[in-house]
Amino acid sequence: MKSLLILVAVVFAGCSRSPEIPVYSAVPDFSLTERSNRPITRKDLDGKIWIADFIFTHCGGVCPAMSSQMERLQARLPREVMLVSFSVDPANDTPEVLTEYAKRYNADPERWLFLTGDLSGIQKLSIEGFKLGVDPTAGTEAEPITHSSRFVLVDRQGRIRGYYGVEDADSLDRIVADVKKLS
């Protein structure tokens, strides 16, 4: 009887365990400028769980929806989880412009970073580092820069652990659940 109880406990424990979150790749090193004009590198995020997205401030397409979703995440996630928005239009998105944009979304400057820098470096980071498309020549009038509308979950070791579409109704719930698994 005792061995049967142990077997049931082991099986139950295995069934209740959540599936592992995959590791896709590592975020490469970068050095960019935050809206506060301070330099931020990937190493500054070591030891932190963070959610990344790629936006630009004068976007008339998906960017406002993405930033609104990030604002919701800011309210739902533990304070130690960082949010990082990379501008795909650094020529226009200066630190001052990013500061005003961040205010629209009640971005906590201690938790939500808005980064800008060299255009080619940001494009390389998006495409090669995060495996997200970006094309400054293939947009529309409302959204002149075509870019990914996915959020990216990054773990404490700088590894990409998940991609989440802003259009997915349950994406915020999945991000929150996956952050809890990593915590």
Query: 117-141 pLDDT, tens per residue?
Result: 999 999 999 989 998 877 666 656 6
Q: What does the pLDDT average to over 54-63?
A: 86
Domain membership of residue 59 (yes or no) is: yes
Domain membership of residue 11 (yes or no) is: no
Task: State the pLDDT confidence band at 33, using cuts at 50, 70 and 90.
Answer: very high
| Start-to-end Cα distance in the chain | 37
Find the CATH number of the domain harbouring 87.
3.40.30.10
Query: Which of 43, 42, 40 has its CA nearest to residue 32?
Result: 40
Domain membership of residue 9 (yes or no) is: no
More confident call, 103 vs 150: 103
Domain membership of residue 73 (yes or no) is: yes
Q: How many domains does the chain have?
A: 1
With contact defined as beta carbons under 8 Å apart, do 50 and 83 qualify? yes
Distance of CA 158 to the CA centre of its chain: 12
65-114 pLDDT per residue, tens: 999 999 999 999 999 999 999 998 999 999 999 999 999 999 999 999 99
Kindly report the pTM of this predicted structure.
0.86
With contact defined as beta carbons under 8 Å apart, do 76 and 45 qualify? no
With contact defined as beta carbons under 8 Å apart, do 166 and 151 qualify? yes
Query: Is it the case that residue 3 has pLDDT exceeding 70?
Result: no
With contact defined as beta carbons under 8 Å apart, do 183 and 161 qualify? no
- Please give the residue range of the domain that contains residue 49: 23-182
